[in-house]
Chain A
Amino acid sequence: MTTTVTAWPPRPLPRISKIAGRYLVFDHEDASVLRREANTNGSLVGTLPQQPTQNMFLGLPIELRPEEAEALVHKNLARVVDDVAAHQAALLRSPESRAAYIQSLRRDKAAAHKVLAERAAQKAAVAAGKAGGRKKSKSKAEPAPAPAPSDGDDTLFASAPPPAVSSASTPRVADSPMDNFGVTPTSSRDLIPADVDREFEVSNTPQGPLARYLQDGGYHTTPGLRFGSEYSVYPGDPLRFHAHFMANQYDWDEEIPILDIIEGGRLATAVKKAFVIAGSDPSKGEAPENVIAYSIEWAGM
């Protein structure tokens, strides 16, 4: 449907954490794999640490509906883990088994140290450049030369005393970076050992035939709450496209109130969408193959 990413190094299946009956994705790479390769975007439900005082754009975790998670598991595109049990097991293990996680924390700290030191040096270089009457044309595109004052850009540093500036913006840079930072990783990828992760894999997730059908057909969905249906259905990534359908799922023998159809049809048509009703025929195998969907538009005659 959209751009597919194939050149990534092989990585484990995206991991869906089941916590208190909800299905969440914490790893940002998993989130983008699901978005790009499994046409599943979910809803961002967390506070964005970069901008925590707004409700317009939220951050990780991503929440999936149970039947969305099930549709992914069914097609072997993701796996679900009982995350509460997995964390209890991982945290109660011997401290030695945490070595890999501690290693990853230290790696993040080293990275943070590096980036922040470079940023400070870059600022210092800009300040120095300005003081020396230079344009800051180079510094923005090239952060690398800044921490290496020995070669090319010597002149930048000659014009002003750089150590004073940089140490003011990041105090105690010279100390061990390990003691200078705390890190809160978003996902527990490095905290949960692989064997624990496998042990608590969840197999029985409530399924929804329509969710499987839409996932299989390459559609994206978002919660239908805004238009009064179960799903808003998109022909591609909702970042770029408008929804085409408002979809509801019914049981095969369920009687559908005619008012539901009129309501759904009128409402969907009024917002330039079609109303979809779908059900799965239990006598004809399993979803998504046995799902039949009809779209309804209000003729408005």
Chain B
Amino acid sequence: MAFDDDDVPTASRQPAAGSEDAPTLEEEMEDGVADFTKLSSMFSKKGISGKTIRKGEKDFESHGTQAQDKVLEASRQAMEEVLGYTRIHRRDAWVRAWYFPDRFAELEGEDDDILLRERVVVVEHEKGNWMKDIGRSCPSSKDAHGAGRLWLLPEEALYLVERGTIDLWWPNKSFEELLPKPSGSEAQQSFGPDDYEAGLPLTLEAAYTLLVGFEGERGKTTFSKYHVFTHLKRGGFNILRAPQNPELPSESRVVSPSWYGFSLWQSLFSFLSLRQEPKVNSQGPLVAPGLYRSYHSIYQQLAIIPRHKPSPTPAESTEPQDPFKIFYHVWKSGGAPFSKRNPPPPDFRIAVTDTSDTFVPDLAQIESLLESTPYDPPNPAWQGPGRVYQRLKWGHRNVLVAIVDRGLVNFMRFGEGAFGEEKVYERFDNPRGRYRGGKGGRGGRGGRGRGRGRGRR
């Protein structure tokens, strides 16, 4: 077979035929429809993995051998088979949703705490376990007829269509006809999956055209936001849109006591040392001549540039602007059961940017973005010089910026670093490692030059 010259062309003439059973099936379908060669793979979930598609090590270039062509052909066929899959919904697990883009279009912003204005898809059958962070029920105050129906945001609806969970329909009839009150007369028969006078099942492509748009279009998401959403959902995270007018969560006002105590101690310390120092001459030299018994008093005089000091309550904060504005709140999976009504403080806050129209944020952009997140200082247990880098890396506030390049999603973490809070020179006066007085018990761990810097390499 390997020497058969006809082998490869035959295979390529039926690119997705998969295996030899295809013709048999074709013969059996007598409905007059010819294109059934791909039938068996069309509904099969088998054979999807990097291995079946990418076989073995890649080559540098084509060397014109049949062996190479065959491996490539096999990869392509495996891929085509996977992509040729058609989403089907069995009746017992069938979840239909309807596209009603204008039901809440008139709703005003202030009154709309669950973003009903943006919710354009209503779920008819609520089945499955995907609802823990997706969709919100409409309260009866907003919609007397459709009270209690689950409404989806555009990214939620499109994601569910794409993963094959819901069957999205374009309505031919009014909302009231299609979705009668559940409490009403049972006699009213609901429409089945073949009742096309009620509406039309939409394709995935149609769902994209209806649910993805440009920034600022009501009832649509953007491609970059959608890609971030699906990337995280596929990864198992819980994700919700961030509230539009965020009141900073109460945690921001709580100052970690030990951290506060630490800086108090520090300022007391510096106050004591300052008193012993010679007067600083405004004409220079930078370090006044005199007798110095510690590095500390010299470095103090050198510190003439004011440093950024993170504060739990920033003095003046400006409103963050798109795209450097938190759009999603994200929670890791696992742990306590997630409640979309009363979500705990998020694990991550994410702003979404796209490589095609965004540049590196300037200082004002990143500052207002960071200041819109709660104060989140490093863990108070991270004391001592050995954990300088850990503290610096964590920062006092942090935010993730997702950068999307044609569906490829990258996440960058920006932290409010406080280098001014890490006075390396304080260690120079305590060569034995009695770091910051009083904490003698731990001092032994950190001496001069310790840390994850160069010394370790």
Question: Hey, which bits of chain A sit against chain B, CB under 8 A?
Answer: 1-3, 5, 7-8, 17, 19-22, 24, 26, 28, 31-32, 35-36, 43-61, 63, 65, 83-84, 86-88, 91, 95, 98, 101-102, 105-112, 114-116, 141-144, 171-172, 176, 178-188, 191, 223, 225, 235-237, 239-242, 244
Contacts and interface: CB of A to CB of B under 8 A. Distances in A.
Interchain residue pairs A-B with the least CB separation, the first 10: A45-B407, A49-B164, A182-B89, A52-B163, A178-B194, A182-B167, A184-B87, A26-B205, A28-B83, A50-B45
Interface string B1-28: 0000000110011011000110011001
A178 B195 CA distance: 9
Contacts of B236: 53
A59 B230 CA distance: 12
Contacts of B222: 20
Contacts of B62: 1-2, 235-236, 241
Contacts of B193: 178-182
Contact of A107 (B31, B72, B164, B220): B31
B83 A240 contact: no
Main DSSP-derived SS at the B contact region: mixed
B419 interface: no
Most buried by A among B54, B201, B231: B201
Contact of B21 (A116, A142, A185, A244): A142
B86 interface: yes
Given A179-B192, A225-B408, A3 B203 contact: no
Nearest to A144: B24
Given A44-B407, A51-B48, A237-B76, A19 B87 contact: no
- Contact size class for B? 35 or more
B318 interface: no
Interface string B401-425: 0000111101000000000000000
Given A57-B53, A111-B39, A182 B94 contact: yes
Contacts, number: 270
Contacts of B80: 28, 31-32
A106 B201 CA distance: 11
Contacts of B29: 110-111, 114
B85 A50 contact: yes
Contacts of A36: 12, 15, 76
Given A49-B163, A61-B208, A143-B40, A239 B86 contact: no
Nearest to B204: A186
Contacts of B214: 20-21
A59 B82 CA distance: 8
A124 to B, nearest CB: 17
B204 A180 contact: no
Contacts of B167: 182-184
B193 to A, nearest CB: 4
Contact of B208 (A19, A53, A242): A19
Interface centre among B25, B162, B230, by most chain A C-beta atoms within 10 angstroms, is: B162
29 contacts: A1-B62, A7-B12, A26-B203, A31-B80, A35-B76, A45-B406, A48-B48, A53-B234, A53-B235, A57-B50, A57-B82, A60-B204, A87-B206, A87-B210, A95-B172, A111-B39, A111-B43, A115-B43, A171-B92, A179-B194, A180-B91, A184-B87, A184-B88, A184-B204, A186-B204, A187-B203, A237-B72, A237-B75, A239-B79
